[in-house]
Amino acid sequence: MNYRVLGYEVDYLKGYIDKRVIEAEVDYLIGSVHFLDKWGFDNPEFIGGWKSRDIDNIWQEYFDAIEAMAKTNYFNIVGHLDLIKVFKYLPKKDIKSIAQNALKAIKKSNMVIELNSAGLRKPIKELYPSKDLLELAYELNIPITFSSDAHSVEQIGFGYNEAKKLAKEIGYKEAVFFENREKRLVEF
């Protein structure tokens, strides 16, 4: 059986939505945040930006952007929910309190959270999202999907067993996949 799934990962930049992308005939759209204003916080080239800002303010600004992205109702999936942790600059405040409003907006917009193994290949060396955030998502009954965020053929499926183990530990039994922007559940 040949099965083709097509999706886009779309950078959310407030005020810069291209309708051609949002209205594309794809199976799903992943909404992601990689920039805070013009600062590419996850790019090693711009790591110096971490030194000149308050860590808790950075994290709050990031999750405010995630919340705004969810409220657009354009996307099916939230990409790497806590990508902001990529270089191990962690907040002093409780992550659940920082991310709570964003997660509520994700739930309200009927989005799915990506359990993304790419973080295992990055300096943080853990899945996106963290166990704490995934627990909060589970409490809010937000579904998940799995992703290796592959940037090469060799990375496809990377970390799947670890992601599946964490999801089961928290209580998830099903994951979502999309077909023509419609959710389909599959047990794992």
Q: What is the DSSP string of 21-84?
A: HHT---SEEEEE---BTTB-TT-GGGGGGGTTS-HHHHHHHHHHHHHHHHHTT--SEE-STTGG
Q: b/e per residue, 119-144, with b = 16+ CB within 10 A?
A: bbebebebbbbbeebbbbbbeeebbb
* pLDDT at site 2: 58
Report helix angle 95-108 to 131-139, nearest 10: 40
Q: What share of the chain is helix, strand, coil (3-state, %, to 5)?
A: 40, 20, 40
* pLDDT at site 63: 98
Predicted TM-score (pTM) of this structure? 0.94
* pLDDT at site 97: 96
* pLDDT at site 156: 87
The answer to whether the beta carbons of residues 41 and 77 sit under 8 Å apart is no
For residue 26, the one-letter residue type is V
* pLDDT at site 166: 97
Q: Could you state, in chain order, the average pLDDT of each consecutive group of 10 residues for the chain (188 residues)? A: 80 91 95 95 94 95 98 97 98 97 98 97 97 98 94 86 96 96 94
Protein fold of 7-187: TIM Barrel (3.20.20)
Give the side-chain half-sphere CA count within 13 A for 110.
6
* pLDDT at site 3: 66
For residue 142, the one-letter residue type is I
Name the residue ranges covered by the structural domains of the chain: 7-187
* pLDDT at site 152: 82
